[in-house]
Amino acid sequence: MNHKTNLILALIIPLLMGCSRTAVSQPPSFSAAAESKATPSAADEVLNNNTGPIADKLPADIKEDFLIWAGSQYGRDLTDGLNAALQSGSYEDTLWYDLTGNSLSVLKDRFSGLLDSPETAKAHHIYFKESADPGRVSLSFAGDISFADGYANMAAYDSRGGLNQCIMPEIRERMAAADIMMINNEFSYSRRGAPLPGKPFAFRADPSMVENLKELSVDIVSAANNHVYDYGPEAFSDTLDTLSGADMPYVGAGRDLNEAKAAVYFIAGGMKIAYVSATQIERATVYTKGATDTSPGVLRTDDPDVYLAAIDTAKANSDFVVVFVHWGTEGTNYFEEDQRKLARRFIDHGAGLVIGCHPHVLQGIEYYHNVPIVYSLGNFWFNSRTLATGLMEATISVNGLEKLQFIPALQKDCRTNLVTSPAEKIKAIRFMEDLSPGISMDEDGIVHPSGN
């Protein structure tokens, strides 16, 4: 047995005698974690040594105190599993999940006290969700939605008595079945402000409309778009306050740049999933203010160092990163080279899935380094036009993305619902497939990269 392994286990094993695996849903208090930390020792020095197989295999930030805490929580199964993997050279970070039911990212957050309570977690932009399928998390995404006054969809909403005859029960059931549901919130919530001078369209909704997000089972929204600032800084501030007051996490906008670039994290199924959002629009005349160190606004893609650093940070603190981006040209089903270049930079910095919106119509899907880019999900419920739309569903595990599935839907006459006719469903899937280079889609809309 390697000398370093002996030293680590010599510290852990005496603490494990009589220990059994504890439930992952009961994190220890921060004080308990702190009390369990060992004082510096020879083993601490060994763990910081950069030579030998253990130092090569274990992440550099795994220290003696974390190992002792993890061993006290999960018992001999953890120690024996780590020891066997280290000795055989088969260690991977996913081993922690196999042995504890929690990823290494989640365990680190538990150890540090970030998950001591929902309030503490929320202060660090972390939220908890249950996963329906143990070991997997289902993510769902929809495109542009608006509850803004004065447009045809809201006239239909009022005349039909609310949401039930606008976004239909069948598609809402599908949305509710996801563990985490995300949508693009393309308007402001306020009764203040005035339309920005010169802007052709301005969207503002009564703050009470935020409750519709909960009715749609939405868990997080993107606020990085070109309509969230339509009524100026007061209405923008009201929008952030309204979403916060409804306990609705948002990404891509903030009261300053630090908030706008901050990821939101969900812990579900023992994994930690990060969401980051940014906007490329407007590319000519900029009406929507970009956030700065001292002023509110959205996170823009203009300065690559800023948004790429946000993805870097999200990747370092999670198991899987979703980038939700507002980009492209309105009204065209064909993505452009600048979108492709942006998406590839996102992926090079750690994005595991890229979801786009803004064109108000569907655009295709392609893969880069085995990571899917969904260029646009189009309108979800936005106006009276007849447009193909849909949900994009992703299933992830500790090993990454397992499945991507397009669920066809239709916006028509201010109603959005699933496409249920078998013939029309196949037609919609083939339309999306034709827009998508290098992929195929089966009759259920499951996406397969070419060669897989």
Please tell me whether residues 88 and 160 are part of one structural domain.
no
**What's the confidence (pLDDT) of residue 80?**
87
pLDDT tens profile 145-181? 999 999 999 999 999 999 999 999 999 999 999 999 9
Is residue 116 a part of any domain in this protein?
Answer: no
Is residue 287 a part of any domain in this protein?
Answer: yes
| Residuewise pLDDT in 10s, the chain (452 residues) | 444 444 454 444 444 444 433 333 334 333 334 344 433 433 343 244 334 445 456 777 788 889 889 989 998 889 889 888 888 888 899 999 999 999 999 999 999 999 999 999 999 999 999 999 989 999 999 999 999 999 999 999 999 999 999 999 999 999 999 999 999 999 999 999 999 999 999 999 999 999 999 999 999 999 999 999 999 999 999 999 999 999 999 999 999 999 999 999 999 999 999 999 999 987 778 899 999 999 999 999 988 889 999 999 999 999 999 999 999 999 999 999 999 999 999 999 999 999 999 999 999 999 999 999 999 999 999 999 999 999 999 999 999 999 999 999 999 999 999 999 999 999 999 999 999 999 999 999 999 998 54
Is residue 118 a part of any domain in this protein?
Answer: no
Please tell me whether residues 61 and 165 are part of one structural domain.
no
**What's the confidence (pLDDT) of residue 55?**
46
Domains held by the chain: number: 2
Is residue 323 a part of any domain in this protein?
Answer: yes
User: Of 57, 76, 110, which marks where a domain is finished?
Assistant: 110
Please tell me whether residues 35 and 77 are part of one structural domain.
yes
User: Of 110, 142, 165, which marks where a domain is finished?
Assistant: 110
CB 144 within 8 A of CB 391: no
CB 10 within 8 A of CB 17: no
Please tell me whether residues 43 and 94 are part of one structural domain.
yes
**What's the confidence (pLDDT) of residue 451?**
59
Is residue 258 a part of any domain in this protein?
Answer: yes
Is residue 383 a part of any domain in this protein?
Answer: yes
Please tell me whether residues 45 and 161 are part of one structural domain.
no
Q: Which of 228, 215, 135 is nearest to 176 (CA)?
A: 215
Q: Which of 399, 418, 422 is nearest to 176 (CA)?
A: 418
Q: What is the DSSP string of 189-211?
A: E-S---PPTT-S---EE-GGGGH
Half-sphere exposure of 440 (CA within 13 A, CB side): 5
Please tell me whether residues 92 and 173 are part of one structural domain.
no
Q: Is 167 exposed, middle or buried (0-12, 13-18, 19+ CB in 10 A)?
A: buried
Token duo for residue 415: 């109603």
Using only the alpha carbons of the chain, give its radius of gyration: 24
Is residue 11 a part of any domain in this protein?
Answer: yes
Report the helix count and the strand count for the chain, using DSSP H and E.
16, 21
Is residue 120 a part of any domain in this protein?
Answer: no
Please tell me whether residues 223 and 95 are part of one structural domain.
no
User: Of 110, 133, 151, which marks where a domain is finished?
Assistant: 110
Please tell me whether residues 65 and 171 are part of one structural domain.
no
Q: Which of 83, 273, 287 is nearest to 202 (CA)?
A: 287
Please tell me whether residues 193 and 315 are part of one structural domain.
yes
Please tell me whether residues 252 and 400 are part of one structural domain.
yes
Please tell me whether residues 340 and 413 are part of one structural domain.
yes
CATH of the domain at 269: 3.60.21.10
Please tell me whether residues 91 and 174 are part of one structural domain.
no
Range(s) of the domain holding residue 143: 125-449
The strand pair at 447-449 and 387-397 is best described as: unpaired
